[in-house]
């Protein structure tokens, strides 16, 4: 198999994927996605949309989710470093309100699969970042919601003292109001 998959601490549905990387004096090569291999490794699809964002140091995007048409996301960093966070917001889930954070970088090309029913966000730790994610459902503006990134009930350590946050993300809802 061309990758290894492990469950994230605290949230076993969130998967950490380490693709096999081939390096030599010219650089590296990795297969960032292969439907058959990922399905065999327990990463459900299908993936119907790819997104790419670029952000500068200190930008915090999230915590985003869609309801009632949720998206699963396979995320990774092409260039730079982020602190990536997934929060279980599935009502009735035994891990509701728990979150997991992981540093993703181009120096250690890991991916995270965040299942549908989880909120997702990231904070840029490098000068800039190119961040890519594959989605299991199409973006639906009518279904888009934001969980408050600074919700004290979550107490997420974003690894940044004064992040740059959009007005939309600043107006997110608290976990207790979901």
Contact status, residue 42 vs residue 15, Cβ threshold 8 Å: yes
Contact status, residue 132 vs residue 78, Cβ threshold 8 Å: yes
The answer to whether 133 is a known catalytic residue is: yes
DSSP letter, residue 50: E
Contact status, residue 123 vs residue 144, Cβ threshold 8 Å: no
How many CA atoms lie less than 13 Å away from 112 in the CB half-sphere? 27
Identify the residue whose tokens are 């949720």. 70
Contact status, residue 66 vs residue 136, Cβ threshold 8 Å: no
- List the catalytic residue out of 133, 138, 139, 145: 133
Residue 24, both tokens: 């030599």
Q: Exposure of 52 by Cβ count < 10 A (0-12 exposed, 13-18 middle, 19+ buried)?
A: exposed
Identify the residue whose tokens are 């600074």. 150
The answer to whether 69 is a known catalytic residue is: no
Residues annotated catalytic, as ranges: 64, 133
């Amino acid at each position: 198999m061309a990758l290894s998959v492990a469950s994230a601490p605290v949230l076993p549905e969130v998967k950490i994927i380490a693709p096999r990387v081939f390096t030599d004096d010219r650089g590296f090569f990795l297969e960032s996605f292969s439907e058959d291999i990922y399905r065999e490794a327990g990463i459900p699809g299908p993936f119907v949309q790819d997104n790419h964002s670029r952000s500068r140091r200190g930008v915090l995007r999230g915590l985003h989710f869609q309801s009632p048409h949720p998206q699963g996301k396979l995320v990774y960093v092409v260039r730079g470093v982020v602190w990536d966070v997934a929060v279980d917001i599935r009502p009735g889930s035994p891990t509701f309100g728990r979150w997991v954070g992981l540093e993703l970088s181009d120096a250690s090309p890991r991916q995270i699969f965040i299942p549908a029913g989880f909120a997702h966000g990231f904070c840029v730790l490098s000068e800039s970042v190119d961040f890519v994610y594959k989605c299991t459902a199409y973006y639906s503006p009518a279904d888009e919601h934001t969980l408050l990134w600074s919700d004290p009930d979550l107490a997420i350590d974003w690894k940044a003292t004064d992040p740059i946050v959009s007005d939309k993300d600043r107006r997110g809802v608290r976990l207790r109001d979901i």
